[in-house]
Structure formats: structure tokens, C-alpha cells
Structure 1
Amino acid sequence: MNSKSLIKAREYELQEEAKVNVSDRAAFHLTPRVGWMNDPNGFSYYKGKYHLFYQYYPYDTSWGPMHWGHACTEDFIKWEYLPAALAPDQEYDDFGCWSGSAIELADGTHALMYTGVVEDPQTKEFTQTQCLAVGDGIDYIKFENNPVIDGSLLPEGGSRADFRDPKIWYDKDDQLYYLVVGNRTEDGSGAILLFQSPDVKQWEYVTTLDRSDNKYGKMWECPDFFSLDDTQVLLVSPQEMRAQKLEFHNGNNSICLLGSYNKKKHKFGRESVQSVDQGLDFYAPQTVETPDGRRILIGWMQSWESSRNQPHDNKFFGTMSIPRELSIKDGRLLQKPVKELEKYRDNRVSYQGVTFKEPMQLDGINGRILDMDICLQMPEATTNDVVTIAFAKDHENETIIQYFPHSGLLRFDRNNCGFNCDILNVRDVETTPYKLKLRILLDRYSSEIFLNEGERVLTSTFYTPIQATDITFQATSEAYMDITKWDLML
């Protein structure tokens, strides 16, 4: 039996969805049915479809008591909305059903693991616990003995106020369920805890897999833990990061810790750390493994800072990134858009060996819903040379990519994209000198820029009027370019 709170949310989203202008939504990225969206949750494969839940407040375009919104897809590109899955309606989650994950159980049901949050009315302090709901892909019943993991199972020094975002999986060899969850430690920074269970209902603490020690931010949120190309990957989203050269930036980051894992001893050996996405709008990624063995990642295509720039007349806010296929090459995580996107390509326009210096446009190279490959070269570049690509451009607005080929620096700049408040709008990343491959996805109000086959990615939003469709190229000295662009037709 669904609670009154969940029934109310479902009725509201169904009613208000009809008032959303479809052309305001992204064409091939998931947006909320209505209201507010943040972190992806429960990314899982169930009964032939990929299910994605998300942090959701249907009643406003600002953050509120967290529900779980719900959508599914067969190809990661076209999404179908399903009714809201969870609402805060129990004593242990009355401040919100926060982030978590999902898995198909042996009996064919779909289990959701999430963080229930309670706020003390006097002290205003939070208590966070891990909770279970089980259902059929539409309706979910919360476990009568929730929470299944509470503060009594934490290691010494673990915070009961910052203990969230369980990611669950099943190990066929051990015949056990495992989950990782973020926790704040006695030094004020973050750690990732490992728990195990025979049945998803009875859990025990196993070990601490890794911890920040105040080097990579404070609280570690939204962990994910998996094997990829003979490498063990731990994804975390640290809060309160301090910038470290150009790899990490201030504030909320998403980082990837690569290493080895001794499964018998449950010991993770960290070998390297890198940023997952170096754009201005990306957080809280989560992955799923497909039946054909691919590891697919999706993240919240937004940041808390830029969320203040949302359009005032929209009835929804928030977008997910394009789902991305992951691989490891030369000790680095690579990302590329899912291959399914390519079947939506149309109207191919291609130019080879283009030479340019003065501002230039190319016939057929424009638009706001597109997939574009560019190979830039400036082999004789000096320290003062720069190549500039401007998109979503008209007489007043533009977003630009600047490539400094002598140093191999790339700069993303949305200062003139139409934002209405002063936030960070520029991000620099290191890439290869003299020659650079880019793949650029535009979807109305967002850009995802993949450098050198996905060695680095920059994801950002902008709210330039949709009529601004020009793309221009210029350089301080003679530059060379091959370019292919497809419209994406959905």
C-alpha cells in the first residue's frame, strides 16, 4: 500500500508534467518529470530495462525533502517516466529519502537501498541510516525493520550525522551482498566503509576501504566500487575540496581512485587519483554494468553553485549527463558517450583539411542538438597562439573553447552565455600540445566536451537563448582542422 505522501507526489507529478514545455527539456538527456532533480540513484538493469532513480523534490524547482523520481530506458537515450518511487513518510526518513542504489534480488524483485534522514527538532542535528525498499519496478514497499544499517554498526569515530549513499552489489563467488557507503571520520574528513549481508536485511561492517585524511576534501559522498579492465575503481564525490593544480578544483568534486583489490582480505590499494569530470557542472556519478559487459556511468549535470542560475519560469530543474562507457588506458579512466547515441545521428556534414585564421563559419556546422568531432592542429604554435571555438553564439551570447597549442592548455569559458549572477564560469585543463581531438555534444542548454578519446571530460550548462545556433572558429596563427558534425534526431 502506497503512503499518502507518495500518492500525493505521484498525483502532483502527473498533473504538472502536462504543463512542461517539451522544447524546454534537453533532447537526449534525462530531466526530472517536474520540480527539482539532483544525484542519480539506483542505476540498475531490471527486467530488460535500465532503471534510473534520482533525488527529487516534485513541488518546487529548489531543493526540498528528498523523494526518489524514477525513469527507465532501453538504450540510455530515450527515457520513459515512471511514478515516483519513494517519499519521506516514515519516522526514520521523514527529512528525506536520500541517495542510494538498486539491485535485482534472487527472487526477481527489485531492491532499493537508500539513506533515511531524520532531523532533531531541538538540536537541528541529523541522523542518517541505511534503509531498504523492495518492489516490482513500479511500486516499492519499505522494509518493516528499517533501518537495516544504523550508527551502532559504525566503526569507532564514525559520524552518525554524515553516513550516506549506499551502493550495493552481489558477489556470486562469496554468495554475499556488499555495499559501500560514505562516512565522516574522527578527523572531520571522509571515508568509504564496506558492509556485507547474506540477504540485504542483516548487515555487518567489514572494513574501511579508503579515507581522505583531509587530502581530497572532507565528506566523501556517493561512492561506487567496481572492477574495470583488471583495475579496481573507487568513485567518490568529495565536499570542500581544495584546488590541486588543474586536476582538482575547489568545492564539490567527483574523483576516481584507481588501484588493486584483495577480495579475500577486503583490502583496496590505491595507486592513483584523478578527476572524473573537469567541467563546471558535474557531480555524484553512479555506474551500472550492462548485460554485454560494459560499465556505464551517469552523473548529475549541475553544480550547487550554478543551480542559482536556473530559468525562473521553468517547472523543472536539473539534468543528467549523457551515459558514458568507461575503460582504463595507461592508468587513466577514459569516458565516451554510449554507442547507442550514434543511431540518432543524421545530416552528416564533414570538412577535411580546413585552414583558418580569421573568424570563420562553415556551412552546415551549427545548431544546439548535435554531436561533433574535431581534430585541431597548429604544429608551429608559439606561446602566444590560441585557437578559439565559439558555440551557442549570436550577436550577444557565446560559449567558447580556447586551445593553447604550445602549452597544451584548454580553457572553457561561459562568461557570455547569459547567466544572471556571478559564479565561476571558466575552467582550465591540461591536454596535449600542438594537436587535439575533441568530441562535443550539445543539447540545447548543455555541452559535454570529450578530449582525446575521453582522457578528460568537461561538462557544463548554459542558458543562452535557443535561437543562438552559430558556431565559429578563429586562430591567432594559421591552424588546421578536420571536422564532422551530425544533428541528433530524436
Structure 2
Amino acid sequence: MSQVLRDARRYEEEKERLIDVKDRPAFHLSARVGWMNDPNGFSYYDGQYHMFYQYHPYDSHWGPMHWGHAVSEDLIHWTYLPVAMAPDRPYDRDGCYSGNAVTLPDGRQMIMYTGRVLIIDENGEEQEVQTQNLAFGDGDNYVKYAKNPVITGKDLPEGGNPYAFRDPKPWIEEDGTFRVLVANQDRDHGGQMLLYRSEDGVHWSFVRTLIRDDHVLGNMWECPDFFPLDGQFVLLASAQDMLPKGL
């Protein structure tokens, strides 16, 4: 365990004692301490519902993203677990962004998430390089894959933006192979969803652009969900910077 993760766990444990349970929502999960935003990796694993979330334990404002963690047996009463991931590696040093989780055939849980690294580009402007990374765990503790990142800007199709490439949604097909859908922005600043395939969940190759927005719904799509329903597949996404028609 890294010192960054150890410090975050110690901090949230100490500060949680200062929060009166009566000040928390009765039917909604709140951050253990500090700030929370996107729910991540919502899954049923080892007899419990697991909810991870974008988390900055050190402040009540957005900051370097960690992954908070809570479990429930009924989706109403939640028990906090120690923070699952912290920005403690070169490929995610500025934040562990959103992602999702799947259960592997060997019983482990695999998390795929986006790592954020701030850089200064050739024009002198700050950008954030976004890559897809893995962590494996047992429902309590998670270890990041030694060969992260597993999908980078080199794996983008022509015109893909490595600075807007995030929020992987992985799943396992019936034949045991893996797929993941990753949100991306194209060169014309429109949202698109990219499909990747893997035999083992670790080595990935680009398949195709599943769908492109063509500037109808904002300039970037985020946080996809993709699932079968009544014989069809449904794609859900969050449209970024989408303005009302006529304004």
C-alpha cells in the first residue's frame, strides 16, 4: 500500500468521527468525509452491493480524485469501507477518474478506471492526458496492475483526443472475452464512444467507433453505461456542455 493511500485512509477515519450521523442523509449515500461526485463501479460482488465514488477526502470542494467505497445489503443502509484508490502512480498522479468494475472468473473484482496526468503541451497550454488503467481486489483492498496503463492515446482511432478519453465501461461476453466502451472527443469537438476488445482483460485492441454525436448533444460524452434490454442494447451517456435549443 502506498503512503498516499495510507494517509487518505487514516485521514478519513479520523475525520469521520467528527460527523454526527444525524447530519447525514437518511436514504442517500454521502461521502465518508470531504467531497464526492460521480458514482463509480456500482456492482454486486461477494454478497454485497459495492458503490465506489469520485472522492476528495481532504476538502469539501473538488480536488485530486480518489475512489471512495461503501457496501450495502439492501441499497438503503450503507457501511463505509476504506478509500479504495488514491492518485499515487505516475499515470494517475493527478486523479483516479471514473470507471467501472466486473467480477472475474477467478473470483477477483477488476476495476477499470481513467488516470489523469496534467502536462503542458507544445502550445504552452495545460492539458490532462487520460489513460485507462486496471486494479484488482477482493472487495476490501485493491492493487493497481503493474503494467498500467492498458489503453492510451496510442490506441485511439484517427482524430481521437487523448485529452478527453475517459470513463471506461467494461463487461465480459458469454464467450469469456472482454469488451470496454470508452468516452472520447473527436477532432471536431464532438462526443463519440469507442469500443475495445480483449481476450484476457489486460491486453486491449481497438474495434471501432460505436457511435459519434456530430455535435447534436454537446461537445463530449461522459460516463457511459451499455447494457441489453428487451433484445436491444441501450447506451446511456452524460452530454457535456449541451445548450438548450434556440439559445
**Pairing 1:280-295 to 2, within 5 Å after superposition:** none
Q: Deviations over 1:411-442 (max 9, x none)?
A: xxxxxxxxxxxxxxxxxxxxxxxxxxxxxxxx
**Pairing 1:103-142 to 2, within 5 Å after superposition:** 103-120=102-119, 123-142=125-144
1:55 maps to a residue whose letter is: Q
**Pairing 1:169-184 to 2, within 5 Å after superposition:** 169-172=171-174, 174-184=175-185
> Which has the greater radius of gyration?
1
What runs of 5+ residues in structure 1 fail to find an aligned partner? 251-490
**Pairing 1:402-413 to 2, within 5 Å after superposition:** none
CA shift, 1:229, in A, is 2.1
**Which residue in 1 is equivalent to 2:17?**
18
TM-score normalised per structure 2: 0.96
SS at match of 2:22: helix
Question: When the two structures are aligned, how many residues end up with a matched partner?
Answer: 244
Distance in 1, matches of 2:227 and 2:91, equals: 30
Give the share of equivalent positions with the same residue, in percent. Answer: 54
TM-score normalised per structure 1: 0.49
Distance in 1, matches of 2:136 and 2:118, equals: 25
Distance in 2, matches of 1:178 and 1:88, equals: 25
**Which residue in 2 is equivalent to 1:45?**
44
CA shift, 1:244, in A, is 4.1
Distance in 1, matches of 2:125 and 2:5, equals: 28
**Which residue in 1 is equivalent to 2:212?**
211
Q: Deviations over 1:345-367 (max 9, x none)?
A: xxxxxxxxxxxxxxxxxxxxxxx
**Pairing 1:325-404 to 2, within 5 Å after superposition:** none
Greater relative contact order, per chain length (Cα 8 Å cut-off, separation 6+) = 1
**Which residue in 1 is equivalent to 2:193?**
192
Runs (4+) off by over 4 Å: none
Distance in 2, matches of 1:98 and 1:147, equals: 13
Q: Deviations over 1:253-289 (max 9, x none)?
A: xxxxxxxxxxxxxxxxxxxxxxxxxxxxxxxxxxxxx
CA-based RMSD of the aligned residues comes to 1.3
Distance in 2, matches of 1:212 and 1:139, equals: 38
**Which residue in 2 is equivalent to 1:269?**
none
SS at match of 1:220: strand
Distance in 2, matches of 1:45 and 1:64, equals: 28
**Pairing 1:435-450 to 2, within 5 Å after superposition:** none
CA shift, 1:238, in A, is 0.8
SS at match of 1:160: strand
Residue 62 in structure 1 maps to residue 61 in structure 2: yes
**Which residue in 2 is equivalent to 1:33?**
32
SS at match of 1:161: strand
What runs of 5+ residues in structure 2 fail to find an aligned partner? none
Residue 3 in structure 1 maps to residue 5 in structure 2: no
SS at match of 2:217: coil
**Which residue in 2 is equivalent to 1:93?**
92
**Which residue in 1 is equivalent to 2:202?**
201
Residue 228 in structure 1 maps to residue 224 in structure 2: no
CA shift, 1:209, in A, is 1.1
Distance in 2, matches of 1:22 and 1:211, equals: 45
**Which residue in 2 is equivalent to 1:145?**
147
Distance in 2, matches of 1:10 and 1:114, equals: 20
